[in-house]
Amino acid sequence: MTETALPPSRLTLGPVLFNWRPEAMRDFYFRVADEMDVDTVCVGEVVCSKRSPFFAPMVPEVIARLAAAGKEVVLSSLALIMSGREIAEARDLAATDGWLVEANDVSVAAMMSGRPFAVGPLVNVYNEGTLAALEAMGAIRVCLPAELDAATIGALARTAGAEIEIQAFGRLPLAISARCYAARARNLAKDGCQYVCADDPDGMEVDTLDNDAFLAVNGTQTMSYHYLDLLAEMDGLRAAGVRRFRLWPQQVDMVAVAALYRGVLAGTLAVAEAQTRLAALCPGVDFANGYLHGREGCAMVESDA
């Protein structure tokens, strides 16, 4: 019996979630344009609007460089919109012509209604009804939240008209808050935060009272302590209807990380070898894939692949 070939899959580089120095962020995206084997690159401030003015002057040049390199550019919105200024900025983003916008807040999806847009993983798409409602508004791509297991992802992919994307590498964005944890940890008020989140370019790790690694904090955002690794699960997810895999930028060689995921998707690199190389690229990092297997998110379920 001839094996059915899996459909082609695409790699997405998610937006940088951390407060990196503007020059470092620019140079990162330039290297992505020149060297990284990904199909789509998301650009935009998702976590805290106070960070936006520092990188904003560099965004046009970054977008031009990415587009010239043949990358699809997606403009990502904030995940929590609270002030009048943030509403105005979201409306400006939603009115952008020529680029696909990724809504990370449902209000941005409403602003985009009637035009094609993407949905980011911080919008809670947990069932077919929500997915259908977003598709009716114009969603053509949906990156699902981190907590879904493989059976739920498959059920959504079977009914989806939109392209389904899942997160496959990096610290998972779990929640967003009005309170800035990074400032509070340093006895600072949010309004006078002094941008201390920049001191933790890969997130501030948080332990339990028993000194067990638990979560990571990125300003107002709660993230997983572990890095997600779905190298071993991608073929099964592709067969279930997933068409895109998202890599989150971290303080590691992301060009090399993307090459590993591309190699596994292309069938030119064995999963076990890719995981060995990934561990070498991320020294000291604990990996997890528990949510996909219906377990606690911090679990790592070994695969026979």
> Does the pLDDT of residue 276 top 70, yes or no?
yes
Q: How far is Cα 272 from Cα 302, in angstroms, rounded to an integer?
A: 11
Render pLDDT for 53-71 as a digit per residue (tens, 0 to 9): 999 999 999 999 999 999 9
Q: For the chain, give every domain's residue range.
A: 10-174+226-283
116-120, 167-171, 195-199: lowest mean pLDDT where?
A: 195-199
Render pLDDT for 125-134 as a digit per residue (tens, 0 to 9): 999 999 999 9
Q: How far is Cα 220 from Cα 57, in angstroms, rounded to an integer?
A: 23
Q: How far is Cα 240 from Cα 194, in angstroms, rounded to an integer?
A: 46
Other beta carbons within 10 angstroms of residue 80's beta carbon come to 19
- With cut-offs at 50, 70 and 90, classify the pLDDT of residue 194: confident
Render pLDDT for 157-176 as a digit per residue (tens, 0 to 9): 999 999 999 999 999 999 99
The angle that helices 254-266 and 22-35 make with each other, rounded to 10 degrees, is 30
Q: Residue 292: name the closest of 283, 303, 304, 284 by CA.
A: 303
- With cut-offs at 50, 70 and 90, classify the pLDDT of residue 1: very low
Tokens describing residue 290: 């528990």
Render pLDDT for 132-159 as a digit per residue (tens, 0 to 9): 999 999 999 999 999 999 999 999 999 9
Please state which CATH number belongs to domain 10-174+226-283. 3.20.20.70
Query: Which residues have a Cβ under 8 Å from the Cβ of 268 and sit 6 or more positions away?
Result: none
> Does the pLDDT of residue 305 top 60, yes or no?
no
